Amino acid sequence: MAADPDLPIRIVLFQPTHPGNIGAAARAMKTMGLHDLVVVNPACEIDDVARARSSGARDVLLDARIVPSLTEAVAGCGLVVGASARRRSLSWPELDPRECAEQAVESSRTKPVAIVFGAERAGLTNAEMDQCNALVYIPSNPDYSSLNLAAAVQIIAYEIRRASNVDEKPGEKADAPPASAEGMEYFYGHLERALLESGFLKPDNPRVLMRRLRRIYNRARLDERELNMLRGTLTALASASADARAATDEVMNTPIYLDYAASTPVAPEVAAAMFDCLTGDAGYGNPHSTMHAFGRDAAMAVSRARAQVASLINAAPAEIVWTSGATESDNLAIIGAARFRSGVGKHVVTSSIEHPAVLEACRYLEKDGFDVSYVECDANGLVDPDDIAAALREDTTLVSVMHVNNEIGVIQDIAGIGRLCRERDVLFHVDAAQSAGRLPLDVVAQNVDLMSLSAQKLYGPKGVGALYLNRRRVGRVEPLFHGGGQERGVRPGTVPTHQAVGMGLAFEIARERREDDAERLAMLRDRLWSGIHAMSGVLLNGHSQHRVCHILSVSVTGVEGESLHYALDELAVSAGSACATATTEPSAVLRALGRDDQLARSSVRFSFGRSTTEREIDFAIESFCSAVEHLRRLAPKSEVALA
């Protein structure tokens, strides 16, 4: 069912600010059979990001006209409709999307029609609305504070397709009244419960999906008859729900994976996107061979992924450099930036509880003639910005402090440290491998100059990461190795398209569901802590409040560390950093908190993810408490007394 291909209805985008929205609007138009796109004075380039988002609608994008004024964009049109995400008091009536589409289709039979959409956040001003002669009200997306441009275009294009469909019989649904708002709300609640109980929605927080389902059903404008049919379908799910509940009563499969801070499983959507790159025509071209279509397609996929990564941290796509992971990003940021600025000074400041990738990079610089100051944390694992300020010198060129500690989950005040570094004109590097997708990240507001990111910590593939480089303050760093000029010469080597695509999609998904995931994971973390801390001698490592949602680290008195980890064979947990498991030394992070060697060795790090369930947490509580009690019964009485 497509719109009349000769329908003279024009979509006008007024001063759009993001190329991805232009591409997505073109895709929505093409899907619904519209082709006339006009862009007025865009605040961005129609670049590779726009072309990547257009996905199958390149002809619409290529044929789009760019004009300097709204007057020129709507010239020759009879009906000119301005889209708004808020109610307005204007001299002409306000239409809903369906009414707008019906009037547009009817008016287009005599004269061309234009539907005008304002910039993503600003919308259309009243002065711009004065050039229109009708208003369509499209309620704002609940995830955003104003009109979502691409979604709004899709809604209107869909309604135009419905209104222009010649196969639809007039009055076909006249015998059934529209579904009431109360009836729809009851249906949504019933739908969510049924999907959860049937096992279709796993215990992941379903809010993001339910918001999407609401939008889909709202656009469909169900009548009472259709709504009753759907209610009957939900009732039929009852037996499936019973089967799902019976399945949860079966024996728990072990070991239970509680090591998400080390690595996360690849999200199914990410794996599918990577598979398409590996097996489809769009993936096997070299993204740097843009003389032919295969290379250009791969380049567009990489560009889109770069934009997806940048969006999570409020960076520009051009500021993202692909690497093999956070370890390489840390080394490139610290060694590369320090060497490049060595003419200004050769002093670096970091903390004593950083990831091994940071600490080893700093030790390498010390061998290369640099002076490194290691700032200590307090007993809760917090690094005081005042202590960082006190360590700064005239020749300090770089400060490196991780956002979330990978062993104990403590959150550092990177905004405060970033502010003082900016005041002293010192570059600030942040390892955000554990905070990306779990905490808000804004490299502009937090004054971050370099940021290390990892895909495998956020349901993406292993072997790929990224480094954010502030274009204005950093510009470039000295590369660690040499070759071609890829990644602006900072990181030579062919970018693996499928890896970049996987990381980009993983970061986009994480951005969409960050708040929901964080709320659920914090609940699971607190549930576990409530279940084990009542046992004597179980100590929380790190601050009780300033900690990330997905990590819980504890130390246990009265047991021997190696025995404890062997006893927890039904739980896939760790003692600390996955990058330091090759050493038998107790954790330097835990020793920095004041833990003695025995407590540092008898520590357990639990970390949780999207697939972790309350039932698994309860199983972990039972397993942990049982193991500790058993080991304490076997231990010498003097050691147990210490507990």
Could you list the active site residues? 579
DSSP per-residue letters across 289-318: -TTSHHHHHHHHHHHHHHHHHHHHHT--GG
Q: How far is CA 120 from CA 144, 367, 513, in A?
A: 10, 51, 21
Cβ atoms of residues 348 and 323 within 8 Å: no
Residue 55: burial class (beta carbons within 10 Å; 0-12, 13-18, 19+): middle
Q: What is the DSSP letter of 446?
A: T
Buried b (16+ CB within 10 A) or exposed e, 554-585: bbbbbbbbeebbebbebbbbbbbbeebeeeee
Residues with Cβ within 8 Å of residue 101, at least 6 apart in sequence: 156, 159, 160, 162, 163, 164
| H or E element at residue 566 | helix 561-567
**Backbone phi, then psi, for 178, in 5-degree steps?**
-60, 150
Cβ atoms of residues 102 and 41 within 8 Å: no
Pairing of strands 80-84, 134-137: parallel
Two tokens, residue 216 = 């889909």
The CA angle 546-548-552, to the nearest 5 degrees, is 100
How far is residue 400's CA from residue 418's CA, in Å, rounded to a whole number? 10
First to last CA, the chain: 72
How far is residue 317's CA from residue 544's CA, in Å, rounded to a whole number? 36
How far is residue 528's CA from residue 536's CA, in Å, rounded to a whole number? 15
Cβ atoms of residues 515 and 317 within 8 Å: no
Write down how long the chain is: 643
Q: What is the DSSP letter of 488?
A: G
SS3 642: helix
